[in-house]
Every structure is written in structure tokens, then in C-alpha cells.
A and B are shown apart, each in its own frame.
Chain A
Amino acid sequence: MYIGIAEFVGAYDKILHRCSSHSSCQLVIFVSCLNIDALCASKMLSSLFKKQLVQSQLVPVFGYSELKDHYQRLDENINSVIFVGCGGMVDLESFLEIDPQENTQGPLDEIQLDKTDVVQKFKKEIFVLDCHRPWNLDNLFGSQCITCFDDGTVEESLTEQKKAYYKLIEIENELGDELDDDSDSEEEEDDRETQNEDKDDDDDDDDDDDDVVLGKRSSDELNPKKSHKQRKREFHNLEKVLQEYYSQGSTVLNSLSVQIYSLLSGIGETNLDYLWLCILGVSSLDNSFPLVYNRLLPLLKDEVKRLTPSEKTKTPDSLNLEIRPDYSLFLLRHTSLYDSFYYSNYVNAKLSLWNENGKKRLHKMFARMGIPLSVTQENWIYMDNNFKRDLGVLFDKNLDRYGLQDIVRDGFLRTFGYRGSISASEFVESITALLEVGNASNALENLTTANVSQKDDTNQGDEENREYEEAEEQKINRILKTRQKKWIANFWSSWDVLDNNMDILSQGIKHATFLQRSVFETGVAILEKRLVKHLRIYRLCVLQDGPDLHLYRNPLTLLRLGSWLIEYYAENDEKQLLPLVLATLDETSDTYLCAGIAPRYPRGLDILQQQQQKTLNNFTVAFQQIAAETGAKVRIDNFETSIIEIRKDDLQPFLERLTLSGLI
């Protein structure tokens, strides 16, 4: 079942209705823990429910296996489950092993049913808030106890698929048993593992095979053989429609926070705090999905204008939100001007800062602007005020020459009274860093000493293992698990930051600077050593050593590096835009963390390209198929399905297969 934006309020009321018992906790919210947009959205949701005094439990989860684990251990009381930022791409009913029969209320309640409408039909009802596309069609059209919050894409672009889906079910019901062989394959397709595309080419062969089967059976059947054959063909055609939908590649089309925000405006609860959360959620998408950001930006601006009081006086306790020019520089207000240029992905891409010429160009640029290098290297707070004031003019005059004119754009600035102010993009940087390393002040030292976490793991292991020896594989699993747990713990420090906890915020900014610095250094090393291989249809970069290798165990940090690289290539490779596969070795578990990153249009150009083509990430499908084909030991657990873990020895054949498969 799916609902459009207009029906969000109805769904919300339904949840309230189901969960407003004061005696026990009946609502569970699962949040994807490495996703800032989901973080902001769930923060908004939970404070909304808090206002209604709905008891709830909020569980951050790392990946699919954990989600399933937690879901199945939910107790009887829980009658509503909300998935934020996850679950939209899998067939939840079969993934979570929900039995539709069991899930409906017993006959006793049926009498009440008439009175309370159909609201209480299911024991557990699932609400999915997920902006990853493609949708799983079973969730949308098939299941009754799953409600997907949709932003209108279903009505706009999925009518064909919808028809096909219903038709398929119809035929399936009609033909019943005979389709057993096929329905197997259909289930497969509906699972995350979409079928091999060759299947479509082999379709005719398939049909022939099926005909043989049919021929055997049709002697017992009443229906004439011919209509069967037609049906069969239709069935396959319809399957192909769905198949195409699933295999077109994945992307993020909207922001979760915006969805929640539209719910909020539906019930008239909008205020500045919610809007700020929403802006943060949207800003977090700027890095990897600039199209979404650019599309939503005007909406947000309007909201800010609407909600901000017009008076201009600045008082020490003002908590307002303004639209201000912002720069695509790295944490300008918290580092020096030079560093913010130097570590910015965007400037690096334009000026090739990683080599000497690039650096010279940067110096020359400052010279043109008339800002001495010694001044640029001062911390922003202590920099000469005259320069700061003129910066806008200086940028206007000089940046064109370097193709950097897009550095200045509109952004949002939040003032926290006397505690200072921060722009949305900076806040997002801080949250990202917190999600990556947590807020402990010694977190970075822990990371830099690389093996501390390992030691912790083994220590814990000793305690657990007093009585029995453990197989290698289990041990690795455990290491991975403790690491995931740590990331989940980091979720809460990011959560606390959203309460405008300035201490943690500045800690996060410190971490962000550190991480960006090491990403830059690793990136430079990659480019200098020419580690990125051009493989005709994609670029490949395998990191096997380096001082910061342990940092890239975290998917977010890996994506940070990936986006640094891909932005560089977007600007510097005139031939074509290629996706990137980035793999880093994790020695503790002997696996590679491998991310497929969709190609990106150079900034500025992307708006022009917007109408023509969306950039889709094809690796989601490709990884799954190839993993199934080669039998490689692959863990596809992340909610971003284009990030996988693969065993060290399996990487080579896996990549070879990827090159040859033609799936990308």
C-alpha cells in the first residue's frame, strides 16, 4: 500500500490512534544509522510523537540483518513499526517473514472492528519512509499491512509498473499451479536479488521450456492450450516490465526530512526548529545527490522566509534562521581561508590542488585577490576584518577566472543566540564526522592508533571465550559486529547534536577537519600513484595500504573519499562520466569494503543536465547479480546497497566479472 503526500496526515492520525495507549510502548521506530537525512527525519518524528505523549522506542540499525533480528524480537505489544531510511527496496513481508494471516487480528476483535473502522486490522502495521529508489513493488501494491510514504512518484511514473503488477497477480491466480516454476523466479525477482538480465534475452528459450511443461499438464486442464500460451507470453512481458524497473539502477529522489516536513505542515505544526532539522536533512544530500538539493532549495527558502520574523535587530538571545550566501568551501568559518579552499572537494576538482601546479594556481589566486598568504592561513575568527568584509566582492571579481564562480551560493545560517552561529552545510559536516568517529575527544587518537579497537575486540573476546575456542569466521563476524555497535553508539552523539549541543558540535567539527585532511592526503596519494584504473566502463581504485587505511572501514568515510575522487574526475575527464568502484582493505577481517559510486556531472552543469538524465547508481543491481553468479563471499548488508563487503580473495574475480557483465 502506498500513500501520497496528501494522505500523510491520515497515516499519522492512524499511528496516533493505534499507539496512544499510555500503559505500554506500542510504537517502534527503526532508523538507518549512517544516514543523516534519516537521522533528522526521525528526530522530527520522535519530537512530534513526544508532543502527543506517544510512548515509543527508537532503534538505530546498521544493516538488513540487524533490522531483521530486532524486528523479529519485538514483543506482542508493538502494533506499529516505522522504518526511516530503510526497507523501501526489499520485499518486507518476505524479508521479515511476516505471515499475513497471523498478522491480522483474531476473530475476537472483529466485533470491535466494525466500530473502529479498519484501523485495527493488523497486529503490526509497518510504515516505510524511504527515499531510496526503486521501490519494491510488493510493498507498494502487494501488501496490506505495509504503508509506504510516497512523494508522488508512484502516481507520476509508475502507472505502467502498477498495471503490470496487478495483471501479473491476476494471471498468477488464474494459472495457479502451472506457474509454480515461474512464480519461483518471480519471487526471486521480487527479492533484492534481481534476476540476471540475460534471462530477458533467453526469454524465447524459456518459453519453449515452459511450453513443454504446459503440454504435459494441459491434458488434465480444461482451458484450451492456446490461451495458456498467450497468457504465458503476457506473463513474461509483464515480468519484463517489472524487471526493467528494478534493474534501472538506484538513487535517492527526495529527502526524508522534507517528507516529514510536509506531514508537519499538513497538521500545522511547522516551526523554526523543525525547519532547521529539515534543512539539515536536505543539505546532507547535497554532497552525493546535488540534484535533489537543488530542487528542494527554493522550497526551503520560501519556508525560511515565511517563518522568520522580519525584524532585523540582532539580540543575544535570537535563535533565527537566515538565508545567507554560503560557500562550497570546507568549513570556512571554523578553519582558515586557505585550508577551506585547500580541502574543499570542489576547489580541488577545479584547480587540481593535489599537484604542485594546482597549489601555485591557488596561491596566485590569493595574490590576485590581494590577500596575503599569511592572512589566509589565520583562523577565520582572527582574520583581518577588512578582508572578511570585502570577501564577497573579491570573490565576485576574481573567481570567474578560475571557474570557481559557483563557490558562492545561497545557504542557511542558524544563530544560536550568544552561543554562536553555524551554517547548515557546516553543521552537516559536523554530524557526518560524528557519525563516523563519535564524540569522544580521544576518538581520533583511538583511530590513529589504528589497532585500539582491535585490541578492545580481542579483550572482549577473551572474556567471552573463556570456555571455548572460536572459529576464525565467527571472530571476524564479532569484530564487525562490535564495530557496527560503535557506529550505532555514534548515532546518539549525532542525535544529541541536533539538540544544539554546542560542545559536541565543535567536537564534530574538529573531527571533520581531521577526516577531510586525511581524505585529502589519501586522495593525493591515490592520484600520485595512479591507483585509479580506467576500465572502459568504470574506474577502479583498490586501496591496499596507506597510513589511514583503517579510517575507511566506515562506509561514510569511504564515501567521503569516493566523492572527493569522483568530483575530481567529473571536472578533469572530458571524455565521459564514469562511475567509480572504490575498495579498501580491512585487514582485521580480511575483507574489502567496496563501494560503487554513481558518476556525477560537474557542478553547475548538473542543473542543465537535470532534465535530460538522472544519474542512477547501477551498482546496486550489478553487485547483487554478480555476487549470485560468482558465488563470491559477499555481505550485502548496508542499506546503501551499492556498498558491500567482500572477502579478500574474491575481489579479483568479482571485479573481472563486473567488467565483463555489461551491467553498468
Chain B
Amino acid sequence: MYGDLANKLILEAKRTQQLSQAGFNKQQLPVYQDELVRGILKEVGSLKKNVDYLREQQLTDQDNKVAQCQYVVAMLSMERNKRCLLAYQKMRSEMLDSMVWDNNGMEFSSAISNHPNLSSFDSSVLSHAEQEYLKEYAQLLTELKSGELSEIDLTGMLQPPSDVFIDVRVLKDAGQIETEYGVFNLIKDSQFFVRQSDVERLIQQGYLQKI
């Protein structure tokens, strides 16, 4: 049936979304469904042929209701496929965006361009176009940050903090870490009660866990 493949794609998108919501694979997208997408495109192509044929017939025979109906159905299937493709792509690009923001733009783009293998992100799961997109988006972000808005920390938390001071637990041994505000002696499995603003970066980097 027309639309079956697109349905699969949507299911895949949904699964991806659920995975990321559940907290798995924050840094990882599932593999780009290349074959599925191509299958859908093929389907669209054959639908297009049908539509072209039906339109020609319509020109000759204006009152053929059956042909008219056929035409509409084929058009709708085509439209639906297109919407599904777009939804899939939109979901992925949004996730890429958030990844770039999470990873603080600059570091991310350089990690991809310089050592694609070393970075924790596996760029092979992306399609070629997506890779391009990612690179350019990171570039954009970097420019935005280093430009007029360089004085604002755009990657900071959007929710206002509920407490000035928070409890954090150390997840990794890291010795002494110097921050803007002071030195932290990170001993695994110890707990700090400190100002949130001091340790926000360390939490993002995964050294600390907020309790």
C-alpha cells in the first residue's frame, strides 16, 4: 500500500524521540534510515508518474469521476509521503541543533572536522546532507557567540535556578579543578554544598551530579 514505508519512517522518528526523552543516547542519534527514505522517494516518483498520466486523461475526458478520484488519492498519498519525510528530517535536525547547543558549538564543530573518530559523536549515523547541516549550524552558533552577543553566555541554563546553593556529588576523580571562583578538590564520592553558578560548568562536563 502507498504510505506504508512512510509510516515506518514515522515510527522510527517516534522511537528516536522516546529514546532521547528517556535519557539514553543523549549524544547519539540512531542511524539515518537511508534505505527507507530512498524507498519513499521511489514511491513518490511512481506516484508522480501516475498523477501525470491521470491528468492527461482528465484533459481529454472532463467528466470521468473515477479518474478524478484516482487523481486526488494519488496526490494525497504523495503529499502525505512528503509530510512524513519532512517530519522525520525536522525531528533529526532539531536533535542536531540541541546537540550543538549542548556541546557549546565551537568545540563540537572542531571535533567533527578535525578528528571525526576521536569525538564521542559518531558522524557516520548522519546522512551526507545532515553532516553538512551540522557543520554549518555549529559555525553559525560560533559566529553568533563570538559576535555581538559574546558577552552573554548563550549556553547557560534557561530555567532560573531555584536555589543559590546546591548539593552536588562528585562522579569522577579529577584532582584539583580551578574555576573562576575558587579551587575544587574533586574526590570521587564526596559531596559539595556550593554555589550553583560556580559549578554549573562542572555539572555540564559530567564531573558533578546535582542532588
Chain B: interface residue total (CB-CB under 8 A): 20
Given contacts A49-B193, A50-B193, contact A75 B185 (CB under 8 A): yes
Give CA–CA (A74, B185) in the complex, Å. Answer: 7
Closest beta carbon of chain B to A483's beta carbon, Å: 13
Which residues of A (64-98) have their CB < 8 Å from a CB of B? 70, 73-77
The CA-CA distance from A53 to B163 in the complex, in Å, is: 11
Cα separation A46 to B181 with both chains bound (whole Å): 22
Kindly provide the distance from the CB of B186 to the nearest chain A CB, expressed in whole angstroms. Answer: 9
Report the bound CA distance from A76 to B184 in whole Å: 11
Contact A55 B194 (CB under 8 A): yes
CB–CB B195/A22 < 8 A: yes
| Of the residues A22, A53, A73, A492, contact of B189 by C-beta under 8 Å | A492
How near does chain A come to B165, taking the closest CB pair, in angstroms? 6
With A55-B195, A488-B189 given, can you name 7 additional A-B contacts, CB distance below 8 Å?
A23-B182, A24-B181, A55-B194, A57-B193, A60-B189, A75-B176, A492-B191
Q: Are A55 and B193 in contact (CB under 8 A)?
A: yes
Partner of B185, one of A46, A57, A60: A57
Per-residue 0/1 for A464-508: is the Cβ within 8 Å of any B Cβ (1 yes, 0 no)? 000000000000000000000100110110010000000000000
B190 and A24 contact, CB distance less than 8 A: no
Please name all residues of chain B whose beta carbon is closer than 8 Å to the beta carbon of A495 when the two chains form the complex.
191
Give the chain B neighbours of A25 by CB distance below 8 A: 182, 184, 192, 194
Contacts of B129 in A (CB 8 A): none
Q: Which residues of A line the B interface, CB within 8 A?
A: 22-25, 46, 49-50, 53-60, 70, 73-77, 485, 488-489, 491-492, 495
Interface of B is mostly: strand
User: Which residues on A sit within 8 Å (CB–CB) of B194?
Assistant: 25, 55
| Neighbouring B residues of A22 by C-beta, 8 Å | 195
The answer to the question of B66 belonging to the interface, with a C-beta cut-off of 8 Å to chain A, is: no
Smallest beta-carbon distance A200→chain B, Å: 43
Residue among B164, B176, B195 with the most chain A CB within 10 A?
A: B195
Asked if residues B190 and A58 are in contact (CB atoms below 8 Å), the reply is yes
Interface residues of B in 139-179 (CB under 8 A from A): 164-165, 167, 169, 175-176
Q: Which of B169, B189, B194 has the most CB of A within 10 A?
A: B189
Nearest 3 Cβ contacts at the A-B interface: A24-B182, A59-B190, A58-B191
| Bound Cα distance from A325 to B183, whole angstroms | 51
Question: Is residue B15 within 8 Å, beta carbon to beta carbon, of the partner chain?
Answer: no
A531 to B211, CA, bound (A): 47
Please provide the chain B residues from 57 to 78 with a CB less than 8 Å away from any CB of chain A in the complex: none
Q: In this complex, what residue of A is CB-closest to B165?
A: A53
Give, as a whole number of angstroms, the nearest-CB distance from B192 to chain A: 5
Alpha-carbon distance between A79 and B193 when the two chains are bound, in angstroms = 16
Partner of A57, one of B176, B188, B190: B190
B182 contacts across to A, CB distance below 8 A: 23-25, 77
The CA-CA distance from A55 to B183 in the complex, in Å, is 12
Chain B residues with Cβ below 8 Å from A485 are: 188-189
CA distance A495 to B211 in the complex (A): 12
Q: How far is the CB of A85 from chain B (nearest CB, A)?
A: 16
Q: Which B residues touch A489, using CB under 8 A? A: 189
B179-211 interface bits toward A, Cβ cutoff 8 Å, 1 = contact, 0 = none: 001111101111111110000000000000000
A26 to chain B, nearest CB (A): 9
**What CA separation (Å) do A22 and B189 show in the bound complex?**
23
CA distance A488 to B184 in the complex (A): 20
Which residues in B have their C-beta under 8 angstroms from that of A24?
Answer: 181-183
Among the interface residues B175, B187, B188, which one has the most CB atoms of the partner chain A within 10 A?
B187
Cα A25 to Cα B182 with chains together (Å): 8
Q: Give the complex CA separation of A189 and B194 in angstroms.
A: 41
Please tell me if the beta carbons of B190 and A73 are within 8 angstroms of each other in the complex: no
- Taking the closest CB of chain B, its distance from the CB of A79, in whole angstroms, is 13
Residue pair A50, B185 in contact (C-beta under 8 Å): no
CB-CB < 8 A to A53: which residues of B?
164-165
CA of A53 to CA of B166, assembled, Å? 10
Tell me the smallest distance from the CB of B125 to a CB of chain A, in Å: 26
Assembled-state Cα–Cα distance A55/B193 (Å): 5
